[in-house]
Structure 1
Amino acid sequence: MRWRERTRWTLWSDAGARWGVRRSGFDSRFSLSHRADDESEAQPMIDSTTRNGTMRLHDFLDFQARERPEAAFIVQDRRCLSYRQAQAETHRLARALSAAGLGIGDRVAIVAKNGIEYILLYFAASRVGVVPAPLNYRLAPTEWAYMINDARARIVFAGRDYLPAIDDIRPQLDAVERFIALDGRASDWESYQQWVADQPARPLERFFSDDVDAFQLYTSGTTGRPKGAILTHRTVTACILQMALALDVEPGARHLMIVPLYHIFGVGWTYLCTYWGGCLVIRADFDPHAVIHALSEEHIGYAPLVPAMMQACLVTVADVADRRYDHLRMIIYGGSPIAESTLRQAHETFRCQFTQIYGMTEAAPLSLLLPSDHRRAFGERPDLLLSAGRAVVGTEVRIVDGDDRPLPHGALGEVVARGPQVMRGYWNRPEESTEALRGGWMHTGDAGTLDEEGYLYIRDRVKDIIVSGGEKISSRAVEEVLFQHPAIADAAVIGVPHPQWGETVKAIVVLKEGATATEAEIVEFCRGKLGGLQRPRSVEFVRGLPRNPSGKVLKRVLREPYWAGHERRVGGA
């Protein structure tokens, strides 16, 4: 029996602002404690190596480097670093950051695909209190320039594919002091390898509180300019503990790292894998065939995936259902809605456990649909396949109306939450921070319901709720029906203006290759599956849907031609 099964943990809070798991030796702001049934056998998975008693993110790496120094920690292609080697590299990199004059609160920007140096930079920055601002490499260079300037980044780290584009925007980057190429060589760029080569692999004595900023993660900017969400060391540590307490993960297993490291999903799973003493198997690019090969041939135990990746693997790889996935224990998915048909197909194909994470850049995780919930969903509770699960430990989730008043079970409103994993606020956006965190609750912008068992159902984005004749219609509910049509590959539903009803439902559809369907056929298909107001009144066929770099459909782009010249009435709670 593992230690985590013998131990009872207690989460606590102080006025709802300081949360943690207690343990002797930690200070009152974030401490870790346990009471084991057999005290003589208890072996804590994490302890603090800092003198002031607070836990910082590099402590996870240091613990594993002490306990399992020669175990593989990061693998990419033919390169492998053990925990001991990774720790030494992060000491060198931390010293290089310090020698460059960077310290607590200084920002560095990263524009690169997943890679070993990316992860090393995360842990090294933690050692000296430097704050990584990882940027989505799929964005336009002008958007990078905005975020780099917004963060006041002093160093830009970049992968070889992005050096020329960053060179083009250099004149706009007024705070950047150094440009460092993580791989490859280019004029006017310092080489990462040369930059750290002369630094000794000795620890730096840098002590600071766990309420110091750890990450500045930019939102996807679907409603305007991206905002930098500030996560502290305490915030991210809470996230890790919440996940670790909920999931039964085999220590030392191999974890596929294909979700991007600039995303909260990638950030969180990096530290979770470290917590479990696992091995991160890194992929720089998503290729469905390579992912399926990894899951079936490379002893991958755990695979964090976004739904679009899962669907692509199931649709693109011809023999996906014929392969064996003997080592695959769990697929962890989140980041966007998943079609019920996709989830059922994945369950039939991979025959492993599933966990859904619901959260956002500003606060993750908020809820989990655990393997036990999935077993119920694939059995006697099929409605749970549409659920985002129940609130994680130490977290409260509510549904509120437009005046932030709590709503009863089953009522549709905005999802709000509070807990230790919620961001400190938006970087240099005091008014937007106050609005998002008003009343001490993170306002997610998602419209949802809670049932009597505490299961959360995300029905839509608040701004995407369609109001027709005074009735609220979930665009996601209509999309779920459309995805059942055998000719439809992708679909989005929006509200378009109507002189009498205010809005009516319009479906925008992408057909499968070689398939045919008419507007009348699709409308008729929805009859009997949807109420009168829910049924699409019109259907538009397109080759593809506009999406942001994170894969989310840009419904504002779809709505724009229909609402031009109208005063948009945003539906919602």
Structure 2
Amino acid sequence: MRVPLTLQHFIDRAETIYHDRQAIIDEPDQPAPPLDITWGELARRARAVKAGLDELGIGAGERVGIVSHNAGRMFELFYSVPTSGRIYVPINFRLRPDEVQFIVEHSGCTVLLVDEELAEDLKPVYAKHKFIIGKESDEALLRFDKEFTPWEPDEDAPAVINYTSGTTSNPKGVVQTHRSLWVNATTFAMHMGVNDKDVYLHTLPLFHCNGWGMGFSTTAFGVPQVMLRKVDGAEILKRVEQHGLTLACGAPAVWNMTLDAAKEWDGEIPGNGTMRIVVAGAAPPTKTIARVGDELGWQFNQIYGLTETAPLLTINRLRKEDEGKSSEEQAALLAMAGQPALGVDLDIAEGGEVLARSNVVMDRYWENPDATEEALEGGYFHTGDGGTIDDHGYLTISDRKKDIIITGGENVSSIEVEDVIFSHPDVDEVAVIGVPHEKWGETIKALVVTRQGAEVSEQDIIALAKKKLAGYKAPTSVEFRDEIPRTATGKVQKFKLRQPYWEGRDRQVN
């Protein structure tokens, strides 16, 4: 017997077993009316949205986009759009209007939902059907009085398109199927020991690789989903205390904020001995990892992966054999990317690049066959990261082969930033690199050669970038140089440019 693996399984199980349990504890401070509902109510609303999309004439295979902070209505669409054969396109709310418009047009979204707080800025963005999230989207999409058109389950059908920064100025749309998301969610749940006593906090943006898929994992066990609209360390601690949180995922910057807030916390840190966090994007320094255990009493776990891999490729969770080691020794182990997750085959190419084979690897890049062929050459996904694997299967990421900077958990294409800075009339050359940053892991530095006799300041360059790019993509520092070294063929070797800033560190990423 072969039953198609689809996202419908997760919500079906939650509705059947945990029908009257709280499903969503929505962000109270948001423009839309908070969606505090049970799993039974969530499943009912998901069916009503399917019927609403039918009424709009949105057929299977069509794309439905959303630009939003974490919210209950964003979460519920994962169980109404893909589960009806349509394709969900969660879009980064930090992007500029022209960047959002590119994604809407490239993916072909016929429906677009926009957070009310973002609506004015995104007013120029066009889609055939465009709704502000809340009462407007509810009135447009919820059809409790209609039966929806059934979809014949197909595990190989696209479920989502997640856009990620590439090494060119335009982002690529990563197509993930129901099968890949199902496998990612179930293996993630297994490795992290998810159970129905958990309470999950969405610190991780839902647009970011579908919140890594942990929302699916926890749905299967009826775990309450606590929405966090904007990341704040003190607020995270309050939510842990208020709701009895046990699990959260996020970039290193999130937990740095939490550690800072803990210094001002009055009394015992909530979640001490019960809270576990999962970190990805880049491993924080071993000192920070040790502080999570020593100062918060929380369990630190790390994963490694990419949007193209759904993302779980490795898991680094302290083994029983290592429990007796000192916090410093444990932190050193946890700083590695980890060991392959179940079903993942890792290899290191001759040039040092990390390669991966797994059911969680993307189906393709949307409307980009050339990039797809290059990424999947030889039957492996080419991660673009350099690394090593030790005798115990631990992967360590040592360098980033692609021109990507990860700052605060967000991917930034250095080439995209260079294109903007080079548009300045007084800039002759530019190279953008990632340098270490205590809070964000990496931050963006621009190395600039100006036209002879020109008077250009650091503030001028940063202001230009902020004007044309999302704020997080702008450099935080500019260094003016007489020249940028190149090879005999004219190529800039960025690893050499990065070396002075990373001197004394084992890895060239943070």
Q: Fold conserved (TM > 0.5)?
A: yes
Aligned partner of 1:114: which letter? N
- Supply the AA of the counterpart residue of 1:54: P
1:389 aligned to which of 335, 338, 342 = 338
Counterpart residue number, 2:118: 162
Per the alignment, in what secondary structure is the counterpart of residue 83 of structure 2?
A: helix
Are 1:434 and 2:379 counterparts?
Answer: no
| CA apart distance, 1:192 | 1.2
Residue 308 (1) aligns with residue 253 (2): yes
Tell me what 2:348 maps to: 399
The answer to whether the Cα contact below 8 Å between 2:195 and 2:218 also exists between their aligned partners in 1 is no
SS of 1:245's equivalent? helix
* Partners of 1:562 and 1:138 in 2: CA distance: 34
Structure 1 residues not aligned, in runs of 5+: 1-24, 28-52, 171-175, 185-190, 403-412, 466-474, 498-541
Mapped to 2, the partners of 1:337 and 1:562 lie a distance apart of 34
Q: Is the 8 A contact 2:247 2:276 kept in 1?
A: yes
Distance in 2, Cα, partners of 1:302 & 1:104: 34
Q: Which amino acid aligns with 1:441?
A: Y
Task: Give the total of aligned pairs.
Answer: 439
2:134 to 165, 179, 183: 183
Shift of 1:325: 2.1
- 1:181 maps to amino acid: I
Computing the radius of gyration from Cα coordinates, the structure with the larger value is: 1
**Structure 2 residue 499 is matched with structure 1 residue 570:** no
Partner of 1:372: 319
**RMSD of aligned Cα (Å):** 3.3
Partner residue, 2:86 = 130
**Counterpart-to-counterpart distance in 2, 1:211 and 1:558:** 46
Equivalent position of 2:427 in the other structure:
none
Deviations 1:303-327 (A, max 9, x none): 2121011111212453248533247
Deviation larger for 257-266 or 71-80: 71-80
Q: Could you tell me which residue of structure 1 aligns to residue 398 of structure 2?
A: 459
Q: Output the TM-score relative to the length of structure 1.
A: 0.70
Deviation at 1:490, TM superposition (A): 7.1
Cα distance change on mapping 1:384 and 1:195 into 2, 3 Å: same
Seen in structure 2, the aligned counterparts of structure 1 residues 560 and 226 have a Cα distance that, compared at 3 Å, is farther
Which residue identity does 2:270 align to in structure 1? Y
Do the aligned residues in 1 keep the contact of 2:344 with 2:357 (CA within 8 Å)?
Answer: yes
What does 1:226-305 align with in structure 2 at a 5 Å threshold? Answer: 226-264=171-209, 266-305=211-250
With over 3 angstroms needed to count, the CA separation of the structure-2 counterparts of 1:439 and 1:95, relative to structure 1, is: same
CA distance in 2, matches of 1:201, 1:252: 35
Deviations 1:129-187 (A, max 9, x none): 111111111111000011110001111111111222232233xxxxx321111126xxx
Q: Secondary structure at the match of 1:166?
A: coil
Structure 2 length-normalised TM: 0.78
Distance 1:100 1:491, change over 3 A: closer
- In 1, Cα distance between equivalents of 2:121 and 2:328: 51
Structure 1 letter corresponding to 2:68: A
Question: Any conservation in 2 of the 1:314–1:346 contact (CA below 8 Å)?
Answer: yes
SS at match of 1:154: strand
Q: What's the offset of the Cα at 1:92?
A: 0.2
Q: Aligned letter for 1:370? A: R
Offset of 1:276 from its aligned partner?
2.3
CA spacing shift, 1:559–1:101, aligned 2, 3 Å: farther
1:470-513 Cα deviation digits (max 9, x unpaired): xxxxx99x95xx96xxxx9976698989xxxxxxxxxxxxxxxx
Change (3 A) 1:162 1:221: farther
- Is the Cα–Cα contact under 8 Å of residues 292 and 313 in structure 1 kept in the other structure? yes
Which amino acid in structure 2 is aligned with residue 372 of structure 1?
R
Are 2:72 and 1:116 equivalent residues in the alignment? yes
Range with bigger deviation, 251-260 or 195-204: 195-204
Give 1:195's aligned residue. Answer: 140
The answer for the alignment partner of 2:268 in structure 1 is 323
**Secondary structure, aligned partner of 2:225:** strand
What SS does the aligned partner of 1:447 have? strand
1:211 aligns with 2:159: no
- Contact map agreement 1:396 1:419 (CA 8 A) in 2: yes
Question: 1:350 corresponds to which residue?
Answer: 296
Q: CA offsets, 1:254-306, max 9 Å, x none?
A: 10112111001615121011022201000111122111111233211112121
In the superposition, relative to structure 1, how do residues 381 and 90 fare at CA in structure 2: closer, same or farther (>3 Å)?
closer
C-alpha separation in 2, matches of 1:168 and 1:489:
31
For 1:208 and 1:75, locate their aligned partners in 2 and report how far apart those are by CA, in whole Å. Answer: 30
In structure 2, distance between residues paired with 1:572 and 1:489: 20
What amino acid does structure 1 have at the position aligned with 2:493? V
Partners in 1 of 2:389 and 2:241 — Cα distance? 37
Distance in 1, Cα, partners of 2:334 & 2:83: 41
Describe the SS at the equivalent of 2:264.
Answer: coil
> Does the CA contact (< 8 Å) of 1:377 and 1:384 recur in 2?
no
* 1:69 aligns with one of 19, 29, 35: 19
Q: What are the within-5 Å matches in structure 2 for residues 379-528 of structure 1?
A: 380=329, 383-402=332-351, 413-463=352-402, 479=436
Q: Does 1:146 pair with 2:102?
A: yes
Pairwise CA distance, 1:61: 0.5
1: CA distance, partners of 2:287 / 2:239:
24
Match of 1:235, SS state, is helix
Q: Which residue of 1 aligns with 2:452?
A: none
In the alignment, the residues of structure 1 paired with residue 131 and residue 294 of structure 2 have an alpha-carbon distance, to the nearest angstrom, of: 46
Q: Which has the higher contact order (CA 8 A, sep 6+)?
A: 2
> Aligned equivalents of 2:472 and 2:271: distance in 1?
30
Alpha-carbon spacing, 1:381–1:281, altered in 2? closer, same or farther (3 Å): closer
Contact 2:444–2:474 (Cα < 8 Å) also in 1: no
2: CA distance, partners of 1:233 / 1:301: 27
| Residues 439-498 of structure 1: CA deviation (Å, up to 9, x unaligned) | 111111111111111100011202579xxxxxxxxx99x95xx96xxxx9976698989x
CA deviation vs aligned residue, 1:323-377 (integer Å, no higher than 9, x gap): 3324733111112331222211111122122221111110010001013277458
Amino acid at match of 1:91: R
Provide Cα deviations, 1:218-253, integer angstroms capped at 9, x if missing partner.
003464211000000001001012112222223142
Structure 2: stretches of 5+ with no match in the other structure: 29-33, 405-432, 449-461, 497-510
- Whole-angstrom CA distance in 2 between matches of 1:261 and 1:550: 19
Separation in 2, partners of 1:443, 1:320: 44
Whether the aligned pair in 2 keeps the contact of 1:230 and 1:424 (CA below 8 Å) is yes
CA–CA separation in structure 2 for the residues paired with 1:141 and 1:493: 22
**Shift in CA distance, 371/285, structure 1 to aligned 2, threshold 3 Å:** same
Are the equivalent residues in 1 in contact too, given 2:302–2:316 (CA < 8 A)?
A: yes
Question: CA 1:288/1:63 → structure 2, altered by over 3 Å: closer, same or farther?
Answer: same
SS in 2 for 1:168: coil
